[in-house]
């Protein structure tokens, strides 16, 4: 038996780390970490480290994979409602009510990491002789 797909928006399978806060009257009721399963323009499906209550407001802070101007980390912050879940595997759907990108601090570009690691290693080796 085939069921008709009712979703209008495309979903994009993308796995990104996230932090979440389940809210109750603007107070944090529960918080934890997880990762996205897929994202659309109207919602996020994510898996968590623990069950979360359905019907509650939630804030997701998703670590975006691209850097602003090549060095500044970004988070996609989503506010929405947890509309359904599968508690047996901790997967939950959020209906997105608002979203925005926020800066998340400096991230060193990959090409700068290796020379710095080498310099730190040389300094440590030099210090070990004294």
At 10-19, the pLDDT tens digits run: 999 999 999 9
pLDDT at 99: 96
Q: What is the pLDDT of residue 9?
A: 75
CA 78 – CA 69 distance, rounded (Å): 22
Q: Is 47 among the domain residues?
A: yes
As a dihedral over the C-alpha atoms of residue 124, residue 71, residue 44, residue 57, rounded to 10 degrees, the angle is: 80
Q: Evaluate whether residue 27 is within a structural domain.
A: yes
In a domain, 2, yes or no: no
Predicted local distance difference test score (pLDDT) of residue 94: 97
Model confidence at 89, in pLDDT bands (50, 70, 90)? confident
Torsion-angle region of 25 (φ positive above 0: left; ψ -120 to 50: alpha; else: beta) = left
pTM for this predicted structure: 0.74
CATH code assigned at 46 = 2.30.110
Band (8; pLDDT cuts 50, 70, 90): low
CB atoms closer than 10 angstroms to residue 76: 18
Short-list 105, 83, 114, CA closest to 96:
83
Query: Could you tell me if residue 7 is inside a domain?
Result: no
* Residue numbers of the domain that contains 24: 17-128
**Any domain includes 103:** yes
- Please identify which residue in the block is written with the tokens 């979440």: 20
Please indicate, yes or no, if residue 121 is contained in any of the structural domains.
Answer: yes
For residue range 45-77, what is the model confidence (pLDDT) as tens digits? 999 989 999 999 999 999 999 888 888 889 999
User: What's the pLDDT score for residue 123?
Assistant: 45
In a domain, 72, yes or no: yes
* The total number of structural domains that make up the chain: 1
8 part of a folded domain:
no
């Amino acid at each position: 038996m085939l069921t008709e797909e009712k979703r209008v928006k495309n979903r994009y399978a993308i796995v990104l780390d996230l932090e979440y806060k389940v809210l109750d009257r603007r107070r944090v009721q529960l918080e934890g970490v997880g990762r996205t399963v897929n994202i659309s323009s109207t919602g996020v499906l994510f898996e968590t480290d623990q069950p979360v209550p359905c019907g509650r407001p939630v804030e997701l802070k998703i670590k975006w994979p691209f850097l602003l101007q090549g060095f500044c980390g970004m988070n996609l912050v989503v506010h929405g409602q947890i509309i359904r879940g599968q508690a047996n595997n901790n997967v939950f759907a959020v209906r997105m009510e608002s979203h925005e990108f926020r800066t998340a601090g400096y991230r060193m570009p990959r090409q700068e990491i290796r020379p710095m690691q080498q310099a730190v290693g040389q300094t440590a080796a030099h210090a070990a002789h004294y």
